[in-house]
C-alpha cells in the first residue's frame, strides 16, 4: 500500500497569519496520525514563513514512532534560528529527508533538480544525511533526463514533482503528464530507487496516479488535503485519501 504523509505546513501558515499559537501544527500532526495517516511531512524554509524550527523539534517529539519527513533546500545557508537542512536533520533525525531546489522567492516548490548542474554539490550533502541515518529522496521532474544519476549520488528515492500532472488533470487531459510520471517511476525503479510523489495531489487526481504507478511508495499531501478538511473535517479527509491509496 502506498503510504500517506500529511504535510502540516498550511496549519502553520494559518497560525502565523494571526500570531500566537493557534492552530498548532503539533496538534494537527497528532490528529492526522490518529486518523490513520502513516507519517508527517514539514517543509521549513530559512525565512520560517510557515513551519518554524521550533515546530520541527516539537513535532519530532510528538510523533510516537510515526515516520517523519523533512523537506527543504540543502543549498540554503543558515539564517537566524534556521541552522541549515543538514543540521536540522541532525537535531531531530527524521526517517526521511526530501531535498528540494526551492528558493525564498518561490511561493511553493515548482521544479526538480537538474543533476547536470547540481550533482557535485548534492553528493556530500546526501552522504551527510545518510550518515545521520536518514533515507534521502530527491525532488525530480517527470521526464527528467538524469533520473538514473540519483542512485549514483547515494539517494534512496525520488519524489516525482506532480504539479504539471495535476494541472493537466484539472484541464481535462492528463494522459501525457500521467505517462511521463509513470515512465519516470519505472526508470527510477529499474535504477534501484524507491518512488514518492507530491505536489497538487488531491482526491480527484490521486487515484489515477496510484493506478499508473502501482509500486508508488509514498505520497506527501498538504495544501489540498488541509483545504478539503475545512469542509469535511481532517479525520474524514484523511480516511478518504487512505481509501483511494488502498484501491
- Residues serving a catalytic function are 43, 71, 199
HSE (side-chain half, CA atoms, 13 Å) at 65: 1
Could you tell me whether strands 3-7 and 39-42 are parallel, antiparallel, or unpaired per DSSP bridges?
Answer: parallel
Cell numbers 482526491: residue? 203
Cβ atoms of 210 and 2 closer than 8 Å: yes
Q: Report which of 177, 178, 231, 224 is spatially closest to residue 4, judged by C-alpha positions.
A: 224
Q: Which three cell numbers stand for residue 231?
A: 469542509
Q: C-alpha grid cell for residue 239?
A: 480516511
Amino acid at each position: 500500500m502506498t503510504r500517506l504523509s500529511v504535510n502540516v505546513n498550511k496549519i502553520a501558515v494559518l497560525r502565523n497569519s494571526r500570531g500566537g499559537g493557534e492552530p498548532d501544527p503539533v496538534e494537527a500532526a497528532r490528529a492526522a496520525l490518529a486518523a490513520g495517516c502513516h507519517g508527517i511531512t514539514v517543509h521549513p524554509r530559512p525565512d520560517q514563513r510557515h513551519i518554524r524550527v521550533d515546530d520541527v523539534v516539537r513535532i519530532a517529539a510528538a510523533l510516537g514512532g510515526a515516520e517523519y519527513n523533512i523537506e527543504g533546500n540543502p543549498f540554503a545557508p543558515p539564517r537566524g534560528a534556521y541552522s541549515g537542512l543538514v543540521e536540522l536533520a541532525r537535531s531531530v533525525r527524521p526517517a526521511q529527508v526530501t531535498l528540494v531546489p526551492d528558493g525564498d522567492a518561490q511561493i511553493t516548490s515548482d521544479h526538480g533538480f537538474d543533476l547536470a548542474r547540481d550533482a557535485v554539490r548534492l553528493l556530500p550533502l546526501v552522504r551527510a544525511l545518510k550518515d545521520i541515518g536518514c533515507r534521502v529522496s530527491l525532488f525530480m521532474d517527470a521526464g527528467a533526463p538524469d533520473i538514473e544519476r540519483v542512485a549514483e549520488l547515494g539517494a534512496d528515492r525520488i519524489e516525482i514533482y506532480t504539479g504539471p500532472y495535476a494541472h493537466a488533470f484539472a484541464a481535462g487531459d492528463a494522459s501525457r503528464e500521467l505517462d511521463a510520471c509513470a515512465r519516470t517511476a519505472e526508470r527510477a525503479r529499474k535504477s534501484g530507487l524507491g518512488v514518492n510523489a507530491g505536489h497538487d495531489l488531491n482526491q480527484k487526481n490521486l487515484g489515477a496516479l496510484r493506478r499508473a504507478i502501482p509500486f508508488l511508495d509514498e505520497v506527501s499531501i498538504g495544501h489540498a488535503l488541509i483545504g478539503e478538511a475545512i469542509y469535511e473535517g481532517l479525520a474524514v479527509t484523511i480516511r478518504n485519501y487512505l481509501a483511494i491509496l488502498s484501491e
